[in-house]
Amino acid sequence: MHKIFYLFLFLILGCSKIDKELPISLQWEFSMDSETNEYLNKFTITNISKSTLDKEWAIYYSQLPREIQFDSSLPLKIEAVNANFFKISPSNNFKKLEPNESVSIQFTTNEGVSNVSQQPEGVYWINLKKPNEPISINLKKNTLFSEKYQSVNLKKIYDENNLLLSYSAPLTEVDVLPTVKKVDYNLGKITLSEKVALKYDSKFKNEAMLLTNKLKQLYNIDIDEASSMRINLAELVGEGYSKNNELYLLSIDSNDINIYGNTNHGIFNGCQTLLSLLKQKEKPYELSCLTILDYPDLPYRGQMLDIARNFTTVDNIKKLIDVLSSYKINVLHLHLTDDEGWRIEIPGIEELTTVSSKRGHTLDEQNSLLPGYDGNFNANENSSGNGFITRAEYIDLLKYAQQHHVQIIPEIDSPGHARAAIVAMNARYKKYIATDKSKAEEYLLADFNDQSTYVSAQSYTDNVMNVALPSTYKFLEKVFTEIKDMYKDAGVELTSIHIGGDEVPNGAWMKSPACKELIQTNQLHSTKQLSEYFFKKVSRILHGMDLKFNGWQEVALNNTHGNDTEFIGNAQAVYCWNTIAEWDSDEIPYTVANSGYNVILCNVNNFYLDLAYGPHPEERGHMWAGYVNETSSFAMLPYSIYKSSRKNLSGEELNLDSLAHNKLQLNKDSKQNIKGVQAQLFAETIRGYEWVEYYTFPKILGLVERGWNAHPRWDNLTGNKEKEEYNKDLALFYNKISLCEFPYLNKLGVNFRLPHPGIKLIDDKVHINTPITNATIRYTLDGSDPTETSTIWDSPISPSGNIIKSRIFFSNKSSLISTLIITQ
């Protein structure tokens, strides 16, 4: 057997139509050497024109960052132009290429191509004689799945599904997401007809309007004040009900449905539970008479959406808010800026959006950023790389979110992850330096004499604001002021701004003349100390504006005591994400909480939505921290952080009872500092809004449950009893998803993800399963892809060939294909 066995991809790149200006075709091959574990790549260029090809050309493409090594004697060379943007061009050894001749470059990379998100994309050709006329080259691929993937992972999926199915039980009427705290049943039933009266206190007008719209949209129930059936929204009175401002009481009797709350948010939550109770029902909608008392355990339940790396429009953000709020998610953290884009209009600094809200082919980045990720080279095209939110749109978005009881927290990432801002201010400098020096330098973020060398986590070498320049702080104060004014004009309270603060690479600032002077004046000695200097300056700016700051975990780790004391007073919350035991980082959230900071748990191994659901080659997403699916988020335990991952990065089951041994514990007095949970959706691999939804649903539904109910019944159990109770709860969770949430999301037009089936050969019979109730499993035995007309699997089958393909179908959706290759 040849040593190249793992994965072999041929990507043949050619024009979508015959184009006389495009003289080449391009082929990419990838494989892994099983003996050396090297990742082998090969690009082959063929001259398909009738003319000789000289050296005056270049080919560009985008791919997630990787180091490249090749033999310099080859006729071609390949280089990273900028992190995830690459260039193939003739080397000095390239002579010419006659018609029908081919030339290749073989190279190795330090990263593989485990799924579709890792492959090259956005390929285009440039004739250097016409440098501003790029020509797109479409990507075509033929993927051969690895035998290793089929034989190991599909069997593991089958066994996990089988375990869930063994614990599956019918849903009760009140099995909604998130699970309600307390239910008391009363005698009798109530039937909602096509019309119902709605009575409410005037201060609950907004909630009444939202309920009216949802009853009509989801269940075709109209509001008619003449109806004898009534829904009443009223203030909750009585002792003991004021401790939680999201608490509600839902009471159903033979004539009325009463929703009580001591705040508008409580009323809203009660309305969402009523709507959820109807998810399992068909007309006529019959409900049992009961009383529900319910409230969340954690006040902060959020999602972070990155619209900087790839853009999501306001209309789609509103759609997302509408769905998230129905699950009682109450925070949307908008990642507005990063290296690859600036997505919020700031009056007075127009270059942030005229330059850095778009990506395209450019020679100087004076009018756009370089391409990246999606690879689009047209800065004026409607694509995921281009776009921003205008001031008016943001104000409108804030109002919409407030109506749905969702707080929007804006993030302006600094001082790292700031390349888009830096490029924009460099472009501003060039535009004005000849006519208005003070305006050119007013918001400058870079020291042009800085010779520092560094590489960021995403492979950038020029993405850190210079912390010694007064103009850096003038820039941030201007941005913060404009954002605060947007909230004021929207009539929405702004309490904090997220300043990022993460992943400043070692080496930044160390060879900047401006920073050297700052270091000497303030007796600083490292990148870390300069970061602290920056955080102190920025937190004081925000404090002067009556605002607090939020930041990623770096703002609270390894600070000097004096700075920690000041930061704790000025910080609203610290967002802790690095919780992987193998990296010795799982103590970070409790370290930060015990230091006195408020903590938002953003566990990468539970809540990073942009990590792929699993190892399927066609599954989009990252895998640098393993895989995350709805089970991962469901398993998270806010107050038992070390038991929050039931598997290691290799997918092996862990002994939960020993994971907390010799680990830092959360102090009793620090428990109050755990304020909430948040899912993160970074956008490097997103290519349109349908992927925002795909990554989010159903993956976030585990967070929905855990943010509301932080102490499941298996939280403090051990051994087999813990496993049994966990499996019961997980099976119930999947039944809720199958029978309630998937039909609901489908009704809303949400693009959710269906898991591909497990397949296992048992006693020479093929067994296929899925945890999704009411899903249809279809299969083929001839190597063709299963369709809606393929044979339904309902019992073990004898294979007639050596390739079994299967997928599940649910409503109008289908899963990825599971392919089992039977070897003799």
Active site residues: 503
Report in angstroms the alpha-carbon separations of 699 from 303, 391, 607, 772: 11, 32, 8, 14
Nearest Cα to Cα of residue 701 among 179, 166, 165, 250 = 179
Measured N-to-C along each axis, helices 719-736 and 154-167 cross at an angle, to the nearest 10 degrees, of: 90
- Residue 23 near residue 49, CB atoms below 8 Å: yes
Say if CB 207 and CB 264 are below 8 A apart. yes
H or E segment to which residue 317 belongs = helix 314-326
Which residues have a Cβ under 8 Å from the Cβ of 721 and sit 6 or more positions away? none
Measured on CA atoms in the order 479, 484, 485, 490, is the torsion positive or negative?
A: positive
Residue 548's DSSP bridge partners are 496
Q: What percent of the chain is helix, strand and coil (3-state, nearest 5)?
A: 30, 25, 45
Q: Tell me the pairing of strands 571-576 and 548-552.
A: parallel
Backbone angles phi, psi at 106, to 5 degrees: -100, 140
Residue showing tokens 């709350």:
261
Strand partners, 285: 192
Q: Cα dihedral sign for 347, 352, 358, 360?
A: positive
Contacts 24+ apart (CB under 8 A), 763-768: 764/798, 765/796, 765/797, 765/798, 766/796, 766/797, 766/798, 766/799, 766/804, 766/820, 767/158, 767/796, 768/158, 768/793, 768/806, 768/818
* H/E run at residue 799: none
E runs forming strands in 75-221: 76-82, 85-90, 102-109, 121-127, 135-136, 138-144, 182-192, 195-200
Q: Is the peptide bond before 415 cis (omega within 30 degrees of 0)?
A: yes
Asked whether 534 and 567 are in contact (CB, 8 A), the reply is no
Name, in order, each residue with C-beta under 8 angstroms of 371's C-beta and a sequence gap of 6 or more: 60, 62, 85, 122, 359, 360, 361, 377, 385
370 in helix, strand or coil?
A: coil
Q: Which of these, 295, 292, 364, 301, lies nearest to 330 by C-alpha position?
A: 301
Amino acid at 160: E
Check if the beta carbon of residue 355 is closer than 8 Å to that of residue 727: no
Which is nearest to 38 in space by CA: 113, 125, 95? Answer: 113
Q: With both helix axes pointing from N to C terminus, report the angle between 719-736 and 701-708 in degrees, rounded to the nearest 10.
A: 120
Helix/strand/coil for 90 = strand
Task: Report the alpha-carbon distance of residue 696 to residue 683 in Å, rounded.
Answer: 12
For residue 131, CA distances in Å to 124, 128, 706, 768 come to 12, 5, 54, 54
CA triple 751-757-763, angle to 5 deg: 175
Q: What is the DSSP letter of 328?
A: T
Beta bridge mates, 97: 53
Closest CA to 81 of 32, 122, 142: 122
Which stretch of DSSP H or E encloses residue 490? Answer: helix 470-490
d(CA 608, CA 652): 19
Quote the tokens at residue 746. 């489908």
Token pair in block for residue 292: 């529900």
Alpha-carbon 662 to chain mean position: 32
Q: Is 651 in a helix, a strand, or coil? A: coil
Residue 22 has φ and ψ, to the nearest 5°, of -100, 105
